Structure 1
Amino acid sequence: MSAEHKKMQQGQMMNRGPMGAMGRPVEKPKDFKKTFNRLLRYFLPQKYRMLIVLIAAILSTVFNIVGPKILGQATTRLFDGLKNKYIAFIMHRPGPAPSIDFGYIGQILLLLLVLYVISSIFGYVQQYVMAGVAQKTIYRLRREVEEKLSRLPLKYFDGRTHGEILSRAVNDMDNMSSTLQQSLTQLITSVVTLVGVIVMMLIISPLLCLIVILTLPLSLVVTMSIAKRSQNYFRQQQRSLGQLNGHVEEMYTGHKIVKAFGHEDKALAEFTELNEQLYEAGWRAQFVSGMIMPLMRFVGNLGYVLVSVVGGILVTQGTISIGDVQAFIQYAQQFTQPITQLANIANVIQSTMASAERIFELLDEQEEVPEDANALAIENPTGAVAFEHVRFGYKEDAILMEDMNIDVKPGQMIAIVGPTGAGKTTLVNLLMRFYELNGGAILVDGVDITRIKRGVLRRMFGMVLQDTWLFNGTIRENIAYGREDASEEELIQAAKAAFADHFIRTLPEGYQTILNEEATNLSQGQKQLLTIARAFLADPEILILDEATSSVDTRTEMQIQMAMKELMKNRTSFVIAHRLSTIRDADLILVMNHGTIIEQGTHEELLSKNGFYADLYNSQFSGRALEEAV
């Protein structure tokens, strides 16, 4: 995950204060309607489940809403019984004193219990089914994203940071998952609750309903004015949090340099200043957004007081029962809750649609050129490679290679040299068909690589790059990545050939030593040896070595070069090298500059030409002579 995205995500987590969703800035989709309609299509296969969720949500809410009205009947009966007893007591009426109808009240309470149990059951069904719907939908999306990533060309990954791609595939997906499971059901229940409460209030008393509804504009004015102000503070908080996280990450990753140059006090002072800025922005954002709920409660209490006063007057006039007033007060308290929830959900859904839009953008990216319907699989490849009039550029208007021609015989060692940016790695990318040509053709064993299955083509190559890649697992698993069906003996032989067996056995767990996420429990040279062992085990027909020994010491490099000679026997190999002394025995040396092969031949032939290669070769020794003179 990129540092920038971590800062953004942490900033959002910090903003989840009271009414935070209404206060913090919300990322909005570019085209809400289009994204919503496309996301809706993912729910169509589960439309019957969604119907169950809708019905369960409505029934759960309805049973919950009618509760106060029924409870009001019990309150009215209890009040009437007490009133009759009081009147009989005052009037000294003869005969038995009126009694309270506890039987009727008990029936009402039992009915309420049944209603609330049924409401809870429907609520459980709603959440259970919706969880399944959400997870199946996200599972389908995740699978499509995973399959899409495997079909995207290398230029897509080269043109974007890893953090950006991970943000879409992981964080945006998680954002959608939580929203689909929670916010959609909350949206349904909030709407049903709002409608149900208004209906029940109108049934009880249109006058009291009018009083409650008149408080709604005041609530909206309070909420919107504070939310608008708090957004500015939340923006400042996110900006300050990003700067603070960036500083901490920078100081942590470079703590050795900070200590070496004695800048601890300066780093601490900068941290203190950034921390103060975050504190100022943070407490203002939380304080202002935290004012919304108390003010909403105050407005609600105003309505509560008005309902109580007017309701009391109506009771004395006999136009409404006291139980209905009690029920109405409960409905009045419930009235603002779904409105607040809907305001929060609106922001959450906007953010979710933005995440969905980013995922759909990934799914709409241009894929690799489809494989030929009659793609071939070469049975016994020999390793002959030919470039015929190859034309290539990363952009159409910036051609890097023009009319490149190379003829490589099986078993030859081809060295590729040249200054940085000359196009050496590009040549390798074209061989592996990570990029498509603009013109010409690359042939392997006389077959155009566009007619060979990509998987078959790439299995013919073994790669050892300057940048080592090891995953979180045992050393044995990392070496076996080259060929997972290899036996233990073959794996150990590969490690020995790469001069890795000795240092592996000195580790506490040997081949079962677990590498951490970035393999920092091994030195750079040891990691390189493991990648070389992986290539040995893969036993490919064509080898690609991109500065494979750049991270090992001179003695180990000599040993690896000897092992490489054994490995490269009867195999075609392409070696990218900066230290020209390591490729003097190459069958053919290609000298590249600005994407073009400017010289080719053996080491002796190129030196005798006294051209670009000779200058490169002699400059290495002149550099050493200069160091010795100094």
Structure 2
Amino acid sequence: MSQNTGVSNEDAITLSKPERARVRARSWRLLAVLAGKQKPMLALTVLLVVVSNAASASFPLIIAWAIDWGLPQVQGGNIAALGITGGVYLLSAILAGSLLGWYVLCTARISQAMLLDLRLRVFRHTQRLSLEFHENYTSGRIISRQTSDLETLRELLDQGISELVSSSVFVIFTLVSIFVLDWRSGLVVVAAMIPISLLFRWYQRRSETVYRESRVVSAKLIGTFVETMTGIRAVKAFRREASNDENYANVAGEYRDNSIRSINLFGVLQPGLVLIGSLSMAAVLAWGGFRVLDGTLAVGVLVALLLATKRVFQPVENVAMFYSSLQAATAALEKVSGLLEEEPTVVEPLKPRPLGRVTGHLEFKDAVFGYGDGPVVMDRFDLDIPAGQTIAVVGQTGAGKSTLAKLIARFYDLRSGSLTLDGVRIDQIANDDLRRHVVMVTQESFLFSGTVAENIALGKPGASREEIILAARAVGAHEFINALPDGYETDVNKRGGRVSAGQRQLISFARAFLADPAVLILDEATSSLDIPSERAVQRGLQTLLGNRTALIIAHRLSTVQIADRVLVVHDGMVVEDGSPAELISEDGRFAALHKAWRESMV
């Protein structure tokens, strides 16, 4: 059955105003939640940044005082005035420097704590999301959220925010000091802030789209690389290197073009700020110079005003640099918050019903199912699977075999109707209980990083070595495991620990045997095996099935022979139902499949 889950606007580049406002609010709300856990440390950093920048902003005032009061005092014979003014300046410098250093250390601790919290949130939430999400959301995009997007946020949190806050506070205090020195010159500097704000607004409006596009293209770049490396065998087999080179070059070219556009925008912003700052300095110098000549302004005050004005625009230029980082980080935060806003389509029941001894009786009644918002692919479906029965499900590709298995494993929920396990609705069973009693073995037989023993123990965390070996013996995996370089301690990802497809399948069978479920689902578990491997797996399979309820999704009819009952599925419906012998004797779909299989074996 095909999926049609709809298209999310998570990768949209251009958003409407209401949507843009909602996305921005969602992103900053996430940042506020992360920062809220650091309240004591944040309070300390606020105090540190205020005091340190106040001390730093006082330097021009101290210089003006030293020139206009200290020098006349020294000329009059009061040498102590030189020590007083110098000592005050030195104390201010020490206070500003030490507190600023403390502030940087505190902000680093805060940013790393926030990033750790966010990384864990993204990882845990991505695992919590339903299979429907993962089948619709490419792995490259998920990797991009956890890597490049969080790295962009790290750069902002580690340096950008602290610099932005420190620079902003410093500008405010320096402006105050300018007004204290001479309010007329202060008005000149404030007037310069008008074109600066307009320039920032121009940059913001144009860079939002560019940086949002950057996150999309970055995810596409990572996704293309991951897809190519994951399918490298197919790439080699079908000589796709040249085609992949061209495709990757196009995506990388998009990323380059996007980067150039962002650099061009910043290339207007920073020179514009430098120009406005230089013109402001010239205006203060000209205005102040005429007033010194007519005696209405002291020389020391003019020197201090020039120093303060220059110091005002230096942080503004720094703010411009980090504003660029802020725009990139904002776009990254939108993507991460969008991922965290996704909700599982299969949710844990609020009041789960307890299960007693589970026998494995499964029953569909009036079941209706479709993927996402797509069309119905299973309509008014009824099926009764008695406890302990082994059922083989066959049919053409796309007929609905795997959908049936995914519903029983509760990777998806029905739209209407019911599916029960021992009379209890599947969606009313706690996830832990369901995973304990219903186990699926897939065609991939995925092995995680670690030893063979650790992979088998996934079926029963905390299992003893004796239990692990017993499970391996039961399915016929013990001999080949012992032949590995380090036996059960062999790392499956290291040289010498590589195992064949059939061996991986036997390890997965041992994992399922150790779990001892009431219901076992085998989703095309032997479709990729050669004949010798399949025979070895078949022997393990018969042991594994035991008296459990089993649902075997099969392409190879050799697997069907061990079933008590066969279901032939076509277009989401069971069109034939009976024992293998009964269906072979009839002139139906299964008989035709069986005949074709027998002819292929000749």
CA distance in 2, matches of 1:274, 1:433: 37
Q: Report deviation, 1:184.
A: 4.0
1:491 aligns with 2:468: yes
Q: Report deviation, 1:477.
A: 1.5
Tell me the SS of whatever aligns to 1:434. coil
Tell me the residue number matched to 2:544: 567
Q: How many aligned positions are there?
A: 585
CA distance in 1, matches of 2:330, 2:500: 45
TM-score (norm: length of structure 1): 0.77
Q: Report deviation, 1:486.
A: 1.6
**Change in 2 beyond 3 A, CA 1:282/1:151:** closer
Tell me the residue number matched to 2:88: 111
Paired letter, 1:581:
S
**Whose Rg is larger?**
1
Tell me the residue number matched to 1:5: none
Tell me the residue number matched to 1:431: 408
CA displacement, residues 447-475 of structure 1 (integer Å, 9 cap, x when unaligned) = 33344323112211232101232222222
**Change in 2 beyond 3 A, CA 1:356/1:614:** same
CA displacement, residues 367-419 of structure 1 (integer Å, 9 cap, x when unaligned) = 534526261132x3222333334333335773322333333333321111111
Contact kept, 8 Å, 1:30 with 1:354, in 2: the verdict is no
CA displacement, residues 50-93 of structure 1 (integer Å, 9 cap, x when unaligned) = 444333322221111012221333345675589x5xxxxxxxxx
TM-score (norm: length of structure 2): 0.80
Q: Report deviation, 1:336.
A: 1.8
CA distance in 2, matches of 1:359, 1:238: 10
CA distance in 1, matches of 2:106, 2:406: 48
Paired letter, 2:346:
E
Specify every segment of 5 or more residues in structure 2 that has no aligned partner in the other structure, as ranges.
1-9, 12-18
Given candidates 64, 69, 92, the residue that maps to 1:72 is 64
Tell me the residue number matched to 2:531: 554
Paired letter, 1:336:
F
Paired letter, 1:408:
I
Paired letter, 2:592:
D
Tell me the residue number matched to 1:62: 54
Tell me the residue number matched to 2:592: 615
Given candidates 150, 155, 159, the residue that maps to 2:136 is 159
Tell me the residue number matched to 2:433: 456
Given candidates 330, 334, 338, the residue that maps to 2:311 is 334
Contact kept, 8 Å, 2:141 with 2:223, in 1: the verdict is no
Tell me the residue number matched to 2:514: 537
**Change in 2 beyond 3 A, CA 1:239/1:547:** closer
Paired letter, 1:434:
F
Given candidates 355, 365, 376, the residue that maps to 2:343 is 365
Contact kept, 8 Å, 1:54 with 1:188, in 2: the verdict is no
Q: Report deviation, 1:521.
A: 4.6
Specify every segment of 5 or more residues in structure 1 that has no aligned partner in the other structure, as ranges.
1-7, 10-26, 85-97, 626-630
**Change in 2 beyond 3 A, CA 1:140/1:259:** closer
The percentage of counterpart residues that share the same residue type is 31
Given candidates 367, 388, 403, the residue that maps to 1:411 is 388
CA distance in 1, matches of 2:65, 2:499: 76
CA distance in 2, matches of 1:239, 1:287: 19
Q: Report deviation, 1:487.
A: 1.6
Contact kept, 8 Å, 1:430 with 1:437, in 2: the verdict is yes
CA distance in 2, matches of 1:221, 1:159: 42
Tell me the residue number matched to 1:189: 166
CA distance in 2, matches of 1:177, 1:552: 46
CA distance in 1, matches of 2:64, 2:206: 42
**Change in 2 beyond 3 A, CA 1:566/1:359:** same
Tell me the residue number matched to 2:299: 322
Paired letter, 1:339:
V
**Change in 2 beyond 3 A, CA 1:287/1:498:** same
CA displacement, residues 279-325 of structure 1 (integer Å, 9 cap, x when unaligned) = 88867875774575456445534444554455455445443333333
Q: Report deviation, 1:525.
A: 3.8
Paired letter, 1:401:
M
Q: Report deviation, 1:583.
A: 1.3
Tell me the residue number matched to 1:385: 362
Mapping 1:458-537, distance limit 5 Å: 458-516=435-493, 521-537=498-514
CA RMSD of aligned residues (A): 4.4
CA distance in 2, matches of 1:354, 1:236: 8
